[in-house]
Structure 1
Amino acid sequence: MEKVKIGIIGCGMISEIYIKNTKEVFQNLDVIAVADINLDSAKARAEQFGIQKAYSPEELLADNEIEMVINLTIPTAHAPICLQALEAGKHVFVEKPLAVTREDGKKILELAKSRGLYVGSAPDTFLGGGLQTCRKLIDDGWIGEPIAASAFMMGSGPESFHPNPDFFYVEGGGPMFDMGPYYLTALINLIGPIKRVTGSARATYPERTIKSGPRAGEKVPVEIPTHISGVFEFENGAIGSITTSFDVWGSQLPRIEIYGTTGTLIVPDPNTFGGPIYVKRQGEAQWTEIPLTHSFRENSRGIGAADMANAIRTGRANRASGALAFHVLDVMHAFIDAAEKGQHIEISSGCSRPEALPMNQPTDFLA
């Protein structure tokens, strides 16, 4: 199968693992160019990985050899870059979230549809060995019918480790938009789409102090909620709850638990690709750790792009799809809307559960 020629826009921290995996894991992706608004950053990444072309974003989009753009820019640039890439006739895979606003998310999907192009979006951790094993356990009936789920992402904020955390505290940031996509995408993959939500939200601290790098000690203003709790209903009738927070100094809560009619499933951190996974079934006294049944157990960021490249070549639907990403975006906004309005919000978007990966999926995605 012919490789898909890729251009990556955004050469920040996350770009390193994406490019590394195209070289070592996903042999159906051929990164032929990288770009950044800081050309020196693009040149450094190109030199690091032996990539021939280091561009400005405009130059990369004008390169007719590039079939697909991987958009690794900051959230506020996701929609503009995606739309420009689609206008240039290129398929797009973007880091999460799909866009900052619902309106921009819709524009991306509508333009892609009109041009006959693919859109994909992170997170793609749900395609990892851990969450795909959980999917198989649920689909095979290990815990019966899922009736409820709980999810917790509790932390003290990225300013403790990120040298430039400003974008985490403006629109499109915060714990829900930064980390919520991992949890909501995992839950939709495991149980199905969401039909109704409600929630409460607050911003505890008016500013944050950068703790590392050359800007250490600098204050960052907070413009978005930093502690969000929500309750939601899946289309199949299951009930979920989620809390995402940048205001918590310590927690021993689980990441995700799924409760079924005949058992409980403890799901691994959805920001990772491996385990551990535990099940306790009706009548059992102890938890049982379940061995992973699927590939991609290490840091496999880019698997969603590799799956999309395979879909482009074969004409099938991609798993980490634009529709899934838009549904997650819609749900995240609905939690904030519900908190502001004090009411339930009906979710108008929808998506299908992504097709599960087979147990014998080749790790290079060439098959």
Structure 2
Amino acid sequence: MGDPHRVGVVGLGVISRAYLDTLANHPAVRIAALADLDASRSAAVAATIPGAEAMSVERLLASPDVQTVLNLTIPAAHADISLGAVDAGKNVYVEKPLAVTFPDGRTVIDRAATTGVRVGCAPDTVLGTGTQTARAAIDGGLIGRPMSASAVMVTAGHERWHPHPDFYYAPGGGPLLDMGPYYVSALIHLLGPVRAVVGAASRLRPERVIGSGPRTGQRIPVEVDTHVTGVLEHANGALSTITTSFDGVATTAAPIEVRGETGTLAVPDPNYFDGEVRVLALGDTDWRALPPQAGYAEASRGIGLIDMVTADGHRPARAGGDVALHVLETMTALLRSAAEGQRIELTTVVRRPVPVPLTPAEEWRAHYSGHLSTRHQVAGSTDK
């Protein structure tokens, strides 16, 4: 058995707890280092993880004890931290989105290819039994040829629960760049890559009011569009409509629906790993629930990084940087289309990720390939 893959975590904000709960006790990885702009925070977290050392961001990026950097910083810092890791010869797995702008994302991927390291990126929720069961149903012909899909995310805004929601309404934020990666990634897993987009967007409120935490009642400016909708033209000819909004209370729409020639699939929320997949076949009157058929069972955030580590270069990472870059271009092209009022053709091309076979929780939680090597190291603000 080889040594666990050594991971350094940069950014110890809200989302970090979910990652650490998954990774800290997994045999394939070891949390070797932790860094945050708040040194007291990194020291406090390090004290809860045996063998982890709190250090500065600069020292972590340079540390020979770190093979892969887990980048959990705010979106505006994603590219800088990822490039710092890549330039230090380390792999990087970054919280979504890959970067705030498509050129920055392109730079990260190109620089990694030149350096010979890997880049991975959230969301990895699409590797759970929800999206993967839906994909297995589509690939198995359950609804015939897929013709169209819809993806809908409507919420009143993250300022209602997040104590420091400023970055959600600053450049790099907004409902599309924040929540869109879940939905666009799922659509790519289900239907394949996107070739062109048409978008529209609005921003009807100039400020938001923080609803929780020590800053309750404070007003923050809105600098981004808060309702974005559009059409994705997939390479296979299917059309997807997408709506992401911080301007509504709720919706009765399914998070994702895929409609085929002989049936329709209702796909669970891609912000979660599991959920019920339902099908209505042509001629039927009642929806039927499908049992889990594929995906990592009972998965949690961080499974994408584990998937990369245990792949050990023998197959593409399922939450790879190539998919993340395509997702980023899709989203930024939608925003550009909304601003310019024209159809935008994408420049990136990506293959659908390798499907995930149904993998019981006890298997993926215990799995360790045992033959990790420097040659096949795997990868794919400062407070999210």
TM-score, length-normalised on structure 1?
Answer: 0.97
2:284 aligned residue:
284
Stretches (4+) displaced over 3 A: 294-299
What is the CA-CA distance between 1:229 and the residue it aligns to? 0.8
Any gaps of 5 or more consecutive residues in structure 2?
370-384
User: Is 2:10–2:36's contact at 8 Å kept on the other side of the alignment?
Assistant: yes
> Which amino acid letter does the alignment assign opposite residue 320 of structure 2?
S
User: Is 2:296–2:356's contact at 8 Å kept on the other side of the alignment?
Assistant: no
> Residues 232 and 314 of structure 1: is their aligned pair in 2 closer, same or farther, counting only changes over 3 Å?
closer
User: Is 1:82–1:92's contact at 8 Å kept on the other side of the alignment?
Assistant: yes
Any gaps of 5 or more consecutive residues in structure 1?
none
2:194 aligned residue:
194
Q: Identity over the aligned pairs, expressed in percent? A: 45
Q: Does 1:23 align with 2:24?
A: yes
User: Is 1:275–1:292's contact at 8 Å kept on the other side of the alignment?
Assistant: no
> Residues 161 and 299 of structure 1: is their aligned pair in 2 closer, same or farther, counting only changes over 3 Å?
farther
2:210 aligned residue:
210
1:231 aligned residue:
231
What is the CA-CA distance between 1:23 and the residue it aligns to? 3.0
2:84 aligned residue:
84
CA distance in 1, matches of 2:247, 2:95: 24
- Of residues 111-120 and 42-51 in structure 1, the stretch that sits farther from structure 2 once superposed is 42-51
CA distance in 1, matches of 2:161, 2:237: 40
Note the alpha carbon deviations across 1:188-229, whole angstroms, 9 max, x for none.
001100011101101111000001111111111000000011
2:115 aligned residue:
115
> Which amino acid letter does the alignment assign opposite residue 244 of structure 1?
T
Give the number of the structure with larger relative contact order, counting CA–CA contacts within 8 Å between residues 6 or more apart.
2
What is the CA-CA distance between 1:77 and the residue it aligns to? 0.5
Note the alpha carbon deviations across 1:268-327, whole angstroms, 9 max, x for none.
00000111110011122210011112353435100111111123x344321111110010
1:366 aligned residue:
368
Name the SS for the 1:30 alignment partner. strand
What is the CA-CA distance between 1:51 and the residue it aligns to? 4.2
CA distance in 2, matches of 1:253, 1:28: 39
2:376 aligned residue:
none
- Of residues 292-301 and 184-193 in structure 1, the stretch that sits farther from structure 2 once superposed is 292-301
1:333 aligned residue:
332
CA distance in 2, matches of 1:314, 1:320: 13
> Which amino acid letter does the alignment assign opposite residue 317 of structure 1?
P
Note the alpha carbon deviations across 1:87-137, whole angstroms, 9 max, x for none.
111100000000001111011011110111110000011101111111111
2:15 aligned residue:
14
2:315 aligned residue:
316
> Which amino acid letter does the alignment assign opposite residue 4 of structure 1?
H
> Which amino acid letter does the alignment assign opposite residue 307 of structure 1?
D
1:174 aligned residue:
174
1:73 aligned residue:
73
> Which amino acid letter does the alignment assign opposite residue 9 of structure 2?
I
User: Is 1:272–1:299's contact at 8 Å kept on the other side of the alignment?
Assistant: no
> Which amino acid letter does the alignment assign opposite residue 289 of structure 1?
A
1:152 aligned residue:
152
Name the SS for the 1:49 alignment partner. coil
CA distance in 2, matches of 1:125, 1:59: 31
User: Is 1:295–1:363's contact at 8 Å kept on the other side of the alignment?
Assistant: no
User: Is 2:120–2:305's contact at 8 Å kept on the other side of the alignment?
Assistant: yes
- Of residues 326-335 and 47-56 in structure 1, the stretch that sits farther from structure 2 once superposed is 47-56
CA distance in 1, matches of 2:148, 2:126: 19
> Which amino acid letter does the alignment assign opposite residue 368 of structure 2?
L
CA distance in 1, matches of 2:30, 2:131: 27
What is the CA-CA distance between 1:52 and the residue it aligns to? 2.9
Name the SS for the 1:333 alignment partner. helix
TM-score, length-normalised on structure 2?
Answer: 0.92
CA distance in 1, matches of 2:229, 2:180: 11
Name the SS for the 1:184 alignment partner. helix
CA distance in 1, matches of 2:204, 2:349: 32
